[in-house]
Amino acid sequence: MKLLYALVAAACASVVSAHGVVEVFTANGKTYKGPGPLEEDGPAMPESPMRRVGARGPVTDVTSPDMACGVGSPGPTNGIVDVSAGSEVRFQMSPWMHRIGPLTLYMGKCPGSADKCEPNSLKWFKVDAKGLKPDGKWYQDDMASGAEGVATIPAGLEEGDYLLRYEILALHKAMEKGLAEFFIYCTQIHLKDGGSARPSDAQTVSFPGAYTAEDPGILVDVYTGFNSYAYPGPEVFTGTNGESGPAPAPAPEPEPEPAPEPEPEPSPAPEPEPAPEPEPAPEPEPEPAPEPEPEPVPEPEPTPSPAPEEPAPGGGGQAPGPARPPQPEDPSGPIILNPNPIPVPQPTPTPAPAPEPEPPVTTPAPEEPITPPPVETGGPTNTLPIETPLPAPPPSCKRKREAKQAKREAAQAKRALDNKVEAAKRSPAPKPRRQQVLRTNLYKRRYQVAPPRN
């Protein structure tokens, strides 16, 4: 049990929570791998165009400088990649876990080279925002099922170096102030094939500064009386006043003027899976029920803190409050999420209810439950398959020889067991990170708290 705890703690020390980062960025038909978070000791990848965030966790303070380029306010990287005006850019997350909230792309024009660009002083403008789909689910839901996030760069935008700021906003706990989760990633690009369009000052914002914690798209209960979403920040800049250069492969979709129209979708609140119990006291920590988690839970242990946070839809105890007026819907027009992402070294998960894909496990150790296997040695019990039970003593000991033989066998079996345990102690098989992540998720779901750190 001790070892198990140590393993869980080790997993958590490096993976604060199982949030993804941008694993692959795609532009102009080329793919670029992104670095993992600083805290995880992965390769630095200085040639990547993606600035390296400090950790997987969210930014929750909208006044933090981290709102510009993500956790840890990552500094510049060396790579700058060409992106054509009017083209699509794509963001493939390493496994993504949240399903509620918008996906937004901002751009900020650098005064000089993008590898020297200071994000907190940029004038950012919004170029793409994807929220609810016509079926009432969120585009982020597709991302959690493996789809890429896709955004379109305005045609006609003036050329130069820019930072792309990709923002994933998770709203599953956003009914409580300060619990909306921002995941932000900056990519250094050089925009080519552009025109002369540039946003007006009124269309630009600063990060931090663009949002407040009370914005209706940030402090929002998406479970109760919810039927449309009010995007925080400025309107989408479409770049229509510029003359666009030769449009590359996918012609830019016609973008309607940002005339806000009321959300026509009267469908029920877009919660993926209603949680049955109406619990009036939302706990900040645990993840919402609908997050898919394939890990088999072998035996239901009593959870120490029995307060799940998810309010039931149309909740029993929840006062719905005054119904919000219909909010302007996304002016950016129809939204594409690529159903067939460009093949990248990321296993493409199957859609929604299917369990998350498990990468091929290379260690012989079987995936095992959080409960310790029934071994009394007190040694490391974690990764070792132990299937040899001690032979039972003979029912009666009339014959001494038989009894002796049984004793020998028992001693032998015990020695073999001890050897296995010792071997496991000496060389514990390293767990693939994915398994650790699943284990952390399982722990969090079961105990409603983050696993302990060491």
Residues found near Cu ion in the complex (CB under 5 A)? 181
Positive or negative torsion for Cα 14, 26, 104, 273:
negative
Q: What are phi and psi of 26, to 5 degrees?
A: -125, 130
Q: Is 303 helix (H, G, I), strand (E, B) or coil?
A: coil
- The least CB distance from residue 17 to Cu ion, in Å, is 6
CB distance 109 to 198 below 8 Å: yes
| Min separation Cβ 387 and Cu ion, Å | 38
Shortest distance in whole angstroms from residue 219 CB to Cu ion: 17
DSSP conformational letter for 12: H
Residue partners of 186: CB distance under 8 A and separation at least 6? 50, 51, 68, 69, 70, 74, 119, 163, 164, 165, 166
| Angstrom distance (rounded) from CA 241 to CA 248 | 19
Q: Which is nearer to Cu ion, 382 or 440 (CB)?
A: 440
- 20 vs 315, beta carbon nearer Cu ion: 20
Contact between 363 and 383 (Cβ < 8 Å) = yes
Exposure letters 81-114 (e unless 16+ CB within 10 A, then b): bebbbbbbbbbbbbbbbbbbbbbbbbbbbbeeeb
Which CB atom, from 168 or from 417, has the smaller least distance to Cu ion? 168
How many helices (DSSP H) and strands (DSSP E) are in the chain? 5, 10
The nearer residue to Cu ion, 18 or 163, going by C-beta atoms, is 18
Q: How far apart are CA 317 and CA 201, in angstroms?
A: 45
Q: What is the CA radius of gyration of the chain?
A: 26
Nearest to Cu ion of 18, 155 (CB atom): 18
Instruction: Determine the residue with CB nearest Cu ion.
Output: 181
Cβ of residue 98: shortest distance to Cu ion, in angstroms?
Answer: 6
Calculate the CA dihedral of residues 216, 129, 25, 89 and round it to 10 degrees. -170
CB of 39 to Cu ion, least distance (A): 16
For the bound state, the minimum distance from the C-beta of residue 452 to Cu ion, rounded and expressed in Å, comes to: 18
Q: List the end-to-end C-alpha distance of the chain, in Å, as a whole number.
A: 15
Residue 18, SS3 per DSSP = coil
C-alpha span between 73 and 150 (Å, rounded):
24
* Smallest separation (angstroms) from Cu ion to the CB of 253: 31
Q: How far is the CB of 263 from Cu ion (least distance, A)?
A: 25
DSSP calls for 317-353:
S----SPPPPPBPPTT-S----SSPPP-SS-----TT
128/181 with CB nearer Cu ion: 181
Write down the least CB distance from residue 58 to Cu ion, Å: 6
| Nearest distance from C-beta of residue 174 to Cu ion, angstroms | 11
| Closer to Cu ion by Cβ: residue 20 or 49 | 20
Closer residue to Cu ion in complex, CB, 18/421? 18
Buried b or exposed e, range 304-319, using 16+ CB within 10 angstroms: eeeebbbbbbebeebe
Between 181 and 368, CB nearer to Cu ion:
181
**Cβ nearer to Cu ion, comparing 109 with 445:** 445
Least distance (Å) between residue 235 CB and Cu ion: 28
At residue 169, the 3 state secondary structure works out as: strand
Count CB-CB contacts under 10 A for residue 405. 12
